[in-house]
Structure 1
Amino acid sequence: MDFRLVRRLGHFLAVAEEGHFGRAAARLGISQPPLTAQIQALERELGVQLLHRTGKGARPTRAGEALLPLARRLAEGAGQLELLARELRAGRHAPVALACVTSALFDYLPPLVRGLQAARPSSAIAVREMDTADAVEALRRGEVDLALLRLDQDRHPIRLHSLGPDVLAAALPAAHPLAAGAGPLDLSALADEPMLVLPRAISPAYSDAMVAACRAAGFAPRAEREVGSAMAQLGFVAAGLGVALVSAGMARLRPPGVAFRDLAGPIQAVGVALAWHAERESEVTRLALALAGGLFPLGDAQQVASPEDKAGQMR
C-alpha cells in the first residue's frame, strides 16, 4: 500500500467535506500551505484536477466527485489498519480467522466462538464458510488460523483434533411416503430414489461414506444431481427433487418441507474435527484445543499421515 497516496487522499477528502482549505487544515491539525501542497501533489500524481478553488473555498470537480467514494473507503481502511497496529503494539490480541464447513455451523461453531470471545474479548473473530478442501488450502496458505472441517486423516502439515463421531441420516421431502415412518429406516428402502449429492471433488469423505453405505445395503446410489453445499441439499430435498444422506446433526435445523429419518445401523459418517497448521501452532491454537476438550469431550487429538495416504478423506 502506498501510504503517501492514502494520506493525500485523506487530505483531499477533508477539503471536499469541509469545502474550505482553512477548515480542512484545522481538522487535520496542519497549516494550510502543506495541505495545499499535498493536494497539488495528488493531482499531479493522478493527472486530473480534483478541486475547483473559489473565492469562498473549494469544491470537487467532476473527477473529484468520482473519486470521493473510493477515497472514503481507503481512508476508513487506513484508519482501521492504524487502529489494529496500535492495539498490537499495546499487547492486545490479534484477530482470529476461522474456516467452517456448513454442517458444523450450528453444533460446533457457536460454542467454540463463544469460548474464544470470552477468553479473548479484545480479539475480533472472522468466520468463513467453506468446504473441507478449501479450508485445508486456506490453512496451508495461512489465510485462516483454525478450521472446523470433516477430515479423519491428516494432510501434512495439517493436524486434527476430532470433536466427536457422526452418523448419516436420510433427508426426505415432507410428502414422501417414507417420511412419516417410525423407527430407523433401512437404507435399502432408498435404492430407487434419486439422490442429491455433493461433488466428490469438494467432499470425498462424504461421497465415499455414502457410496460405501449404499453398496453395503445392496445398491448403487442414483446420483440425480450434484449440489454445492449441505444446505443446498436440504433446499433441493424440500423442493421434492430427490432425497439425500446428510449428517444427522442437520436434522436440528428443522427446515420446512424436509423430514429426517435415522438410518438402521447406524451408518457412520466422517465427524467434524478442529484443524490447524502444525508449523503455525500458536496461543490461539492451544486455547482452541483446550476449549474443544471441555466443550466436546467425545473428541480426541490425532495426527495422521501424508496426503498420499488418504488423499480422498475430506468433506
Structure 2
Amino acid sequence: MREISLDRLRTLVVVAELGAFAEAARQLNLAPPTISLHVAELEARVGAPLLIRNRNQVRPTAIGETLLARARRLLADADQALDEVRRQVEGLTGRVRLGASTGAIAHLLPKALEYLQGQHPGIDVQVQVLTSQASLARLRDGSLDIALVALPQAAGKSIRLTPWRRDPILAYVPARWQPPAKVTPAWLNQRALILNDSSTQLSRVTSEWFAAAGLYPEPRIELNYNDAIKRLVAAGYGATLLPQEGEASEPHPGIARRPLRPGLWRHLGIACREAEMERATGFVLEALERLRQ
C-alpha cells in the first residue's frame, strides 16, 4: 500500500488555506495540473473527496478537515525535525559521547566543559566513566565519540590517538608517616599500599616503576576510584601513587603529597574515530585542546 507523501499533504494544506488551486500553484511554485494531480492522488488514497470545488472557492469536506488537522501536525513535526538536524549539522546543537576515568572527569573535564558551554551552549556532552581499554572498544563499535585514555595504547586502525597531557605521578602518604622530601620505591615498599588494579594503565606504570628497583609490592587493597583512595590515605590506611590532575591544589590535611625519585609521569591521549566527524564533536575536541600540556 502506497504511503501518503508529505508533499501531497503540503499541497492539500496550501489549497485549503488559500481556497484556490491557482493560488496554491503560485505559492508552491508548481504547475496547476500538478496541484490537481496531488489532490487527486490523495483522494484516491483516502477513497473519498477531500475538497469541495466551487467556481470561486475551494473548501475542505468533513473528511478533508480531519486529514488537514493531521497533515498540519505532520508537516510541523517534519519541519521541526529538519530544523533540528540542520542545527546539528551546523554545530549549533548536538550530542557528544565521551569516555574517561574518574580522575580526568573530576579534575580535567570541568574547565573544558565550562569553555564549551560558553562557546557552544547547544552541545550536550554525555560523559561515561570507563577504563582506557573500554573507551577504545566503544569508539570502535561506534557507541562513543571521544575518549581520554592513558598512554601508551594500541589504538588500532580507524582510531586517531594523539598525545594530550603529561602529568606527574606523586606519592600520597598519610601525613603522620612523615615521608621524605622525595619518595623512593624502597621507602614505599616498606609500607601499606593502596594501588589501582591491574586492568589500568596507571597500575602498569607504577608496577614498572617498582620493578625497575627490583621490587614487587603487594598492595593492601586495589581500588580505581581516586577520591576514595585519597580518603583512605587521609585515614592512615595506606599510601598510594596518583597523577596530579588539573591545578596543584593542596590535598587533605591528613595527606602529605611528595614527588617521586626517580620521577614518574602519567601520559594521556585523546582518541576519536578517523572518519569524518560531526561539528559538535570537533567543538568538544577544540575545548579539550585548550587543556593540552
Per the normalisation by structure 2, the TM-score is 0.62
Answering whether residue 245 of structure 2 is matched by residue 249 of structure 1, we say yes
Distance 1:263 1:83 in 2: 60
- Note closer, same or farther for the CA distance 1:239–1:282 as it changes in structure 2 (3 Å cut): same
Are positions 1:231 and 2:232 aligned together?
no
Structure 2 CA distance for partners of 1:119 and 1:236, relative to 1, 3 Å: same
Aligned to 1:168: 169
The SS at the match of 1:163 is: strand
Contact 1:98 1:126 (8 Å CA) reproduced: yes
* 1:283 equivalent among 272, 276, 279: 279
Q: Distance in 2 between matches of 1:200 and 1:84?
A: 49
Structure 1 residues 234, 282: CA separation in 2 closer, same or farther (over 3 Å shift)?
Answer: same
For structure 1, the 5+ residue unaligned runs are: 1-33, 35-80, 299-315
Q: Which amino acid aligns with 1:173?
A: P
SS in 1 for 2:133: helix
Aligned in 2, Cα 1:267/1:227: closer, same or farther, shift over 3 Å? same
Asked if the contact 2:97–2:127 (Cα under 8 Å) also holds between the matched residues in 1, the reply is yes
Taking the aligned partners of 2:184 and 2:264, their CA distance within structure 1 comes to 10
CA shift, 1:105, in A, is: 2.5
Conserved? CA contact 1:248–1:262, under 8 Å? no
Larger radius of gyration: 2
Within-5 A mapping of 1:42-191? 85=81, 88-92=84-88, 93-156=93-156, 157-178=158-179, 181=180, 183-191=181-189
The Cα shift of 1:189 comes to 1.1
Per the alignment, residue 208 of structure 1 pairs with 204
Cα distance in 1 for partners of 2:151, 2:80 equals 34
Distance 1:147 1:253, change over 3 A: farther
1:198 and 2:193 are equivalent in the alignment: no
**Residue ranges of structure 2 left out of the alignment (5+ in a row):** 1-65, 67-76
- Give the counterpart of 1:264 among 242, 258, 261: 261
Question: Which whole-Å CA distance do the structure 2 matches of 1:209 and 1:186 have between them?
Answer: 15
Q: Given residue 278 of structure 1, which amino acid in structure 2 is its aligned partner?
A: E
**Matched residue, 1:61:** none
| % identical equivalent positions | 24
Following superposition, the deviation at residue 148 of structure 1 comes to: 1.9
Secondary structure of the 1:125 match is strand
CA contact (8 A) 2:102 2:225 kept: yes
Amino acid aligned to 2:282:
R
Under a length normalisation based on structure 1, what TM-score does the superposition of the two structures give?
A: 0.59
1:215 CA drift (Å): 1.9
Residue 111 to residue 170, structure 1, CA distance change in 2 (3 Å): same
Within 2, Cα distance between the matches of 1:256 and 1:127?
31
Contact 1:101-1:150 at 8 Å conserved across structures? no
Give the Cα separation in 2 of the matches to 1:165 and 1:83. 47
CA distance in 1, matches of 2:227, 2:217: 20
* Paired residues of 2:168 and 2:265 also in contact (CA < 8 A): yes
Offset at residue 199 of structure 1 (A): 1.6
Looking at structure 2, the residues matched to 132 and 267 of structure 1 have their Cα atoms a distance apart, in angstroms, of: 19
